[in-house]
Structure 1
Amino acid sequence: MFLNDMDNDRTHVEIDLGAIRRNAEAIKTFTGKRLIAVVKADAYGHGVTSVTQTLRGVADMFAVATVEEGVKLRKAGVRESILVLFSALPNQALQVIEHGLVPTISDWGFANRLNTIASDTIKIHVNINTGMNRSGVHWREATQFLHRLETLNRLTVEGVFTHLATADEPDKSYVFVQIERFASVLEEIPNSRRLVHAANSAATLAIPEAHFDAVRPGLSLYGVYPAAERPIALAPALTWKARIGWIGSLSAGEGVSYGLTYKAPRQTCVAMVQIGYGDGYPRALSHVGEVLISGARRPIIGRVCMDVSVVRLESTDNVSIGDEVVLIGEQGGTEITVDELAHRAGTVSYEILTQIGARVPRIFKP
């Protein structure tokens, strides 16, 4: 969908593709490194097909989480290298080969399986576990593992990488422990042809020691900062809007929404907004969330429902059914950011973005 298609939507998100491309260019210029664009989870909820098309010529490689995501990109016509960041299952080896994906190797069994069924050489990346401890070859065993891979004649180690557990934390001391462990492995396998990468968005923006040959940003591509460090300007690419579906009033003492957990202290104007947890709007925002109506913040009262939420209006508000409500984004000089929404919901911006539901149309601005 494009911008003139949105008038009939109860809710929608607007994706600024130009902002995503400019963010990617800014990151690449800032680091001076190759760019592995992470587009997993439907490009963090931004629409992976449109995002990958937008990043052609800027991204040197795309990265996804699963084989299924990689296959989807191939079927959408993506010809660039696609790295699958997590280990595939043994029965997915043929899919990896047929669709020309670059698999991550974290264990000998899958490597051997690929080598057995491949008819041509396959490029692979090896994940070194330096302390994240959720996948990868342990750093103490990595040198031996990499040398053992050399016995598999159908596999070529194109890249070696690790993932940093605390790059977005104020205390980054453990990051440097991981980098030191990673560097000790690299010293044992000198090979200038291998692509070395470790930097997620937080490390890309704040830790140049983690940049190596390529950076691997995800969240920052979409204009959201993962931590306090902001060395370059990034533009948020996503705006989430809904509409007013009903306007009413509560008498003093009357409740609203399931459980009647909010009781009006006095005569109160209210509006039903067409957004709920069935759309990915967090139920945790019950009683604590805010939205923008006519450029002013208005609080959510009562429980967020599956399909709708209720907000309290001021008596001076001049609103009508169908009026625009901003959930994430700017209206009239006031802004609600993804970070603010996440903080109010007790979660992280990654979750807010990736949980925006399939029934919320994505409308793309070139």
Structure 2
Amino acid sequence: MKTHIELNKANLLHNLKVFKEITRRKIMFVVKANAYGHGLNEIIEIIKDLPLVDYYAVDSISEAMLIKSRQQQKPILILGWSDRAELTEIIANGFETVVPSNDQFKLSKEIAKKINRKAFIHLKLETGTQRLGLEPEKVTRLLRNFPDPQLELRGIYSHFANIEDTTDPTFAQQQLAIYNQVLKHVPAGRILRHFSSSASSLLFPKTFFDMVRIGISAYGYWPSKQTHALYLEKSSKKIILKPVLSWVAKVAQIKQIKKGSAIGYGLSYRTYNNVKIIVVPVGYYDGYDRKLSNIAQILVHGVKAPIRGRICMDMFMVDVTHVKNVKIGDRVLILGEENGEKIHADVLAELAGTINYEILARINPLIPRIIV
């Protein structure tokens, strides 16, 4: 394989155990977006028989069906919006679904009655993100409909808008106050209350409720620098999150380039000396951001080596003049750790002007994933 992804099973289990110990709550493992780019099929294979995870959260029916084909013990919540056809399939398969509007509430009820199945729903409360969600007064009114012959209320939840991009929790506290006010109207019964994301699970125990939703940090990354800084300020307990994913490629070609030569499209890099470069058969089609051209590094024999020229669709070039004994077919690391050196998604995100979530989630799902 010219490129593949390696998934470290021990690191994934370590990260999930960290959150189990911190929160002492049920864990909803967020595996949408192909498990944040890691590979949904492989991540489920690692975790399916272990008690660390109580729920799975996905975006779509297709993701839910893949998980169901691998395990049927743990419930699956579909967080994304679904049209009539998708919602019918969700209800028919017994998945749990978000209800973010009055229209979706009515549609769920209608479909459940039509196919003679009960719909399992979680009401999504709008507290300030202004995405999918019902205003507090609408949730309060809908709660009066329960118990209902077609609908079973499994949960009520919301999502923080500004929990990880700041060290000021003011807006998050306002959201939490709205949520707590609505909870006063929730009928008695086994209805899961969940609000906490990775960031709030690290920072604010008042957000834990019955279950926490863990996404980015299960895969070994802090949600942001601000979250990490605030955690260090608030907590005396040191925790380590271990990245699960390593991105591996091979040296496709080695070239000796003379001083003053241009490298790549647009002649965007010219050599200052005679240099040795390698060609790596990975490009922006694979999810390696073109904005990393001329600024990012990879690991070659555990040594950091700079990208020269623009990232191409299927390949890029790297200066390895300072690296000894490089051969065609040698393993290189685009993301990962080797010999004490690291290339992490946080670093690439900062260089590309984005977030670690995007660096990971955009990795092409066609690249083979291997559990190690």
Aligned partner of 2:41 in structure 1 is 49
Q: Distance in 2 between matches of 1:327 and 1:78?
A: 35
Question: TM-score normalized by structure 2?
Answer: 0.91
Secondary structure, counterpart of 1:14 in structure 2? strand
Aligned partner of 1:81 in structure 2 is 75
Aligned partner of 2:7 in structure 1 is 15
Structural mapping, 1:323-342, within 5 Å: 323-342=330-349
Deviation of 1:13 after TM superposition, in Å, equals 1.0
Runs of 4+ in 1 over 6 A off after TM superposition: none
Structural mapping, 1:65-214, within 5 Å: 65-118=59-112, 119-147=116-144, 149-150=145-146, 152-169=148-165, 170-214=167-211
Q: Distance in 2 between matches of 1:359 and 1:65?
A: 19
Unaligned stretches of 5+ in structure 2? 233-237
Aligned partner of 2:235 in structure 1 is none
Structural mapping, 1:266-277, within 5 Å: 266-277=273-284
Residues 338-358 of structure 1: CA distance to partner in whole angstroms, max 9, x if unpaired?
A: 111111121111111111113
Deviation of 1:235 after TM superposition, in Å, equals 1.6
Deviation of 1:330 after TM superposition, in Å, equals 1.0
Q: 1:263 aligns with which of 270, 274, 281?
A: 270
Deviation of 1:234 after TM superposition, in Å, equals 2.0
Secondary structure, counterpart of 1:78 in structure 2? coil
Residues 135-172 of structure 1: CA distance to partner in whole angstroms, max 9, x if unpaired?
A: 1101243211222x327421111100000011112222
Q: Distance in 1 between matches of 2:269 and 2:118?
A: 64
Q: Distance in 2 between matches of 1:124 and 1:235?
A: 34
Contact between 2:42 and 2:369, CA under 8 Å: does it hold in 1? no
State the AA in 1 paired with 2:180. A
Deviation of 1:178 after TM superposition, in Å, equals 0.5
Aligned partner of 1:247 in structure 2 is 254
Residues 197-218 of structure 1: CA distance to partner in whole angstroms, max 9, x if unpaired?
A: 0011111111211111110011
- The alignment's C-alpha RMSD in Å is 1.7
Query: How many residues were matched structurally?
Result: 356
Q: Distance in 2 between matches of 1:171 and 1:111?
A: 35
Q: Distance in 1 between matches of 2:81 and 2:142?
A: 16
Unaligned stretches of 5+ in structure 1? 1-8
After the TM superposition, which of the residue ranges 181-190 and 277-286 deviates more from structure 2? Answer: 181-190
Q: Distance in 1 between matches of 2:322 and 2:162?
A: 47
Residues 214-261 of structure 1: CA distance to partner in whole angstroms, max 9, x if unpaired?
A: 100111111111131365322211111111111112222210111111
Aligned partner of 1:279 in structure 2 is 286
Deviation of 1:315 after TM superposition, in Å, equals 4.9
After the TM superposition, which of the residue ranges 116-125 and 346-355 deviates more from structure 2? Answer: 116-125
Deviation of 1:316 after TM superposition, in Å, equals 5.8
After the TM superposition, which of the residue ranges 230-239 and 242-251 deviates more from structure 2? Answer: 230-239
